[in-house]
Amino acid sequence: MAVLICNPYGQESIRTHRMFRVLADRLNRCSIDVLRFDYFATGDSFGDDSQGEFIGWTNDVIVANQELMKLSRAPRIAWLGTRLGATLAIMASVSSTFLPDRMILWEPIINGSNYLTEIDNRFIQTLRESYNVPREAWGNLIQSDEGPMRHEGVGFELGNILRQQLQALTKDTIPTPRTIQCDVINRRLEPEMESLMERWRNGSAQVDNLVLRDEFDWLAAEALTTSLVPAGIVQEFVRLIANQK
Amino acid sequence: MNEIAVKMGRDQNLIGVMTLPEKRQANVAVVLLNAGVVHRIGPHRISVKIARHLAKLGFATIRFDITGIGDSRSTNSALDFSRQAVQDTKSVMDYLQSQYGYDQFAIYGICSGAMNGYAAALADDRVTGLFMYDGYAFATTKAKFIRNWFRIQNTSLKKYLELHRRLYQRIMRLLLGKQDARVLPSLVSEFQLRLTKDRFADGLQLLADRGLALVSVYSGSIFETYNYATQFQDAFKGRAFLDKVVCYYIPEMDHLVTALAVQDRLTRLVAEWVQQTSQRSVAQQD
């Protein structure tokens, strides 16, 4: 078994970096190869923040998977996608000829508008908490439709294409993942996710839901009050992946 | 511009990315340190943005993870975190010297990165420039007054009395030995415990005497400790290094450089400092 980790977006990616590094080490001890990578215009990869968009990133998942297959030669491949990375993994499974044996989708983004609102609100909160002297004017700039900070998402430039793609992302536009076994992980099962999973099951996909009760603050600017590598979450993923290798 | 992922260090545990310019302009390479626990790309990818901007100006950079942070594995080293950070930075400079021929280095860091950079600069003569963003800060009497005045202005009488009640209780617990005196409100203050103002000043004097290009920037996020433009001058009144350290207090900037405008401003400040470091190195060689 080999695992491809599909990162979340922006601050969430920074927030989860060390956790996935530790998870990769733990899986490796169970003789499972792991590939972590940065999509174009994120992390260490080439490209400016503003150039990131779904089509390129979906293709990046497919290219990374090819690299994992080449390096690992493992007979079975699992994709672990987190937040927007889970959504991209679903899209990649549909546009690729490759069939992943398993997909683990951790809190996939299935409503882009809500996600943008979450990012905007967190951006305002982050700026408010960043200064001892609050700068309320910045909150107004973020919220105004034409404001200079309208194209920012908690420290990352959100390009026009990506923003439009996120706005158009709904549960109705998300295809059924092409895989043999799909596990969806959430803190709580929201009705929107439940109905999407029902559609996937009607499309004859094997879909299981798992509840991971550990709270995880995806967009935390600093991990001063939360765990950077939550032991419970790492253990749960190791158990989930290693037990079924 | 070209970027290369590298493995460095005696144990080959240090992971970094070199950003090389198309045309090398100087013998100074820039070392970008981790900010706290954020991996080498920096808060909001600022280290990547700085590295690529500097490459356009002809400067090579390396951003890397110190031992136990980001992608760099822990080792069996017995060194504590701060000493290990210095050792790691020296190892990275050794790598850049042996593999790319750089013999002078400019070190940049945010928060704990600034503190690690300061320690590395003192420990290694190859360092010719140091940029500290929200590094060591020392509150003056005026800064404490401004902080308290701000608190009073922004606190209702009820909250004000409540704050003083809690403060009184805390002092009593301290006096009665029921509370660790090291319990402090922020990470920055915790780091400061390691170094007194006088020792910091002595170190800064040594760096100034060595001719380093020194920049210290303070953001609006550390208002509790640093909150007016001439605080650095007041804190180190009479010290000979004062006219050799460029110090900015920029309240519009935040500790983790969140807004893009803040990122642009920091990038420009870093670029100016690197160019200054390079010019100084050339002048000293002449």
Determine contact, residues B145/B124, Cβ cutoff 8 Å.
no
- Among B32, B48, B151, B154, most A C-beta atoms within 10 A, so best to mutate, is B48
CB count within 10 Å of CB B150 equals 15
Output A129 or A194, whichever has higher pLDDT: A194
Alpha helical stretches, state H, chain B: 46-56, 81-100, 112-123, 141-153, 157-175, 187-192, 197-209, 231-235, 260-285
The stretches in chain B having pLDDT less than 50 are: 179-192
- Are B254 and A127 inside 8 Å of each other by CB? yes
Chain A residues lying within 8 Å of B39, measured CB to CB: 14, 17-18
- Among A121, A131, A138, most B C-beta atoms within 10 A, so best to mutate, is A131
Q: What is the mean pLDDT of chain A?
A: 90
The per-residue pLDDT for range A22-58, each reduced to its tens digit, is 999 999 999 999 999 999 999 999 999 999 999 999 9
CB count within 10 Å of CB A167 equals 12
Which residue of chain B has the CA closest to A131?
Answer: B221
Residue A222 binned pLDDT confidence (cut-offs 50, 70, 90): low
**Nearest one of A127, A121, A166 to A9, comparing CA atoms:** A166
Percent of chain A with pLDDT over 70: 91
Interface residue A149 vs chain B (CB under 8 A):
yes
Average pLDDT over residues A188-214: 89
- The two structure tokens encoding residue B170: 């805390």
| Gyration radius of chain B over CA positions | 20
What does the pLDDT read at residue A142?
67
Interface residue A79 vs chain B (CB under 8 A):
no
User: What is the rounded CA–CA span in Å between residue A18 and residue B39?
Assistant: 8
**Nearest one of B61, B65, B49, B52 to B266, comparing CA atoms:** B49
User: What is the rounded CA–CA span in Å between residue B88 and residue B123?
Assistant: 12
Interface residue A94 vs chain B (CB under 8 A):
no
Q: Assign A208 to helix, strand or coil.
A: strand
Residue A134 binned pLDDT confidence (cut-offs 50, 70, 90): low
User: What is the rounded CA–CA span in Å between residue B59 and residue B234?
Assistant: 35
The per-residue pLDDT for range B63-100, each reduced to its tens digit, is 999 999 999 999 888 888 889 999 999 999 999 999 99
- Are B258 and A43 inside 8 Å of each other by CB? no
Determine contact, residues A61/A89, Cβ cutoff 8 Å.
yes
Nearest to B221 among A131, A148, A224 (CB): A131
The per-residue pLDDT for range A224-233, each reduced to its tens digit, is 556 778 888 8
Which residue of chain B has the CA closest to A42?
Answer: B45
- Are A18 and B36 inside 8 Å of each other by CB? no
A214 vs A185, A224, A241, B50, CA distance in Å? 11, 17, 18, 36
What does the pLDDT read at residue A132?
66
The pTM for the full model equals 0.90
Does pLDDT of A163 surpass 60?
A: yes
Torsion sign (Cα): B130, B134, B139, B145: positive
User: What is the rounded CA–CA span in Å between residue B226 and residue A164?
Assistant: 41
Which residue of chain A has the CA closest to B37?
Answer: A223
Which residue of chain B has the CA closest to A223?
Answer: B37
Q: Under an 8 Å CB criterion, which residues of B touch A? A: 3, 5, 17, 36-41, 43-45, 48, 69-71, 150, 187, 220-224, 251-252, 254-261, 263
What does the pLDDT read at residue B176?
63
What does the pLDDT read at residue B180?
40
User: What is the rounded CA–CA span in Å between residue B69 and residue B35?
Assistant: 10
Chain A residues lying within 8 Å of B187, measured CB to CB: 222, 224
Q: Please report the domains of chain A, with CATH numbers, ordered by start residue.
A: 2-111+176-242 (3.40.50.1820)
